Structure 1
């Protein structure tokens, strides 16, 4: 199942994307989003980071796409800048910002960036929402 949201850049776009994601997780995986709340919190944090980074560094975010698999969530945020995300060096917890890519690397199963030519780029991540069957 896929949900797409056209975005209008502005100060409320990060909260709007978090709300879209929370509603989708509730609909797809149950009212709590998942039996374990941590994956839901991780998904909301990562969506906030991607959209916030697009606003600060990438250009205007213009689309949020959420894809559901049986146990995972795949999120894509498209923005108007062709610049790929890049780390500002080794992660330092004492910095007031610059934690987005570190969080993606730590929390997402995988993530990446795809150029969209004149339309900018899409940054994506995949996150396990339900525990893997053992």
Structure 2
């Protein structure tokens, strides 16, 4: 079973989001058997969405854990905020977002938000392999 953990603290989302995306790609390339290209694309799409949310709303520091299971990939993003994510109406004109969480919920088999005993929360998406 493969596992990868990425820890990043940053002031600007662009750098750490790119690091998370590329790390997810490398993780998927190392799996045996290989991850189906459509499913891999979903993982590479979901990871930066969850990381962006952690950076914007979770205190600027995050950890991503990617875990391989026989029929799925588990993406868990930990941040320092104990506030649960909320659904909001996507902003079609102002560019303030609101699209990520609904997209992740549609792409994932399941999404779960849990509070961490050490503080903060974890948002987990279980994606098809």
- Fold match by TM threshold 0.5: yes
TM-score normalised over the length of structure 1: 0.82
Does structure 2 conserve the Cα–Cα contact (< 8 Å) formed by 1:54 and 1:60? yes
Distance 1:120 1:24 in 2: 25
Deviations 1:75-107 (A, max 9, x none): 111111111111014xx5835320111111110
Gaps in structure 2 of 5+ consecutive residues: none
Map 1:82-97 onto structure 2 (within 5 A): 82-89=82-89, 92=90, 94=92, 96=95, 97=97
Residue equivalent to 1:123: 123
Name the Cα RMSD after superposition. 1.9
The alpha carbon displacement at 1:29 in A equals: 4.4
Map 1:17-36 onto structure 2 (within 5 A): 17-29=20-32, 34-35=35-36
Distance 1:29 1:72 in 2: 13
Deviations 1:111-134 (A, max 9, x none): 1111014531111100002xxxxx
Residue equivalent to 1:132: none
Q: How many positions carry a matched residue from both structures? A: 124
Does structure 2 conserve the Cα–Cα contact (< 8 Å) formed by 1:65 and 1:76? yes
Deviations 1:49-80 (A, max 9, x none): 10001111121233110100122100111111
Distance 2:127 2:117 in 1: 26
TM-score normalised over the length of structure 2: 0.85
Mark the CA change 1:78 to 1:49 in structure 2 (over 3 Å): closer, same or farther: same
Residue equivalent to 1:4: 5
Does structure 1 conserve the Cα–Cα contact (< 8 Å) formed by 2:51 and 2:62? no
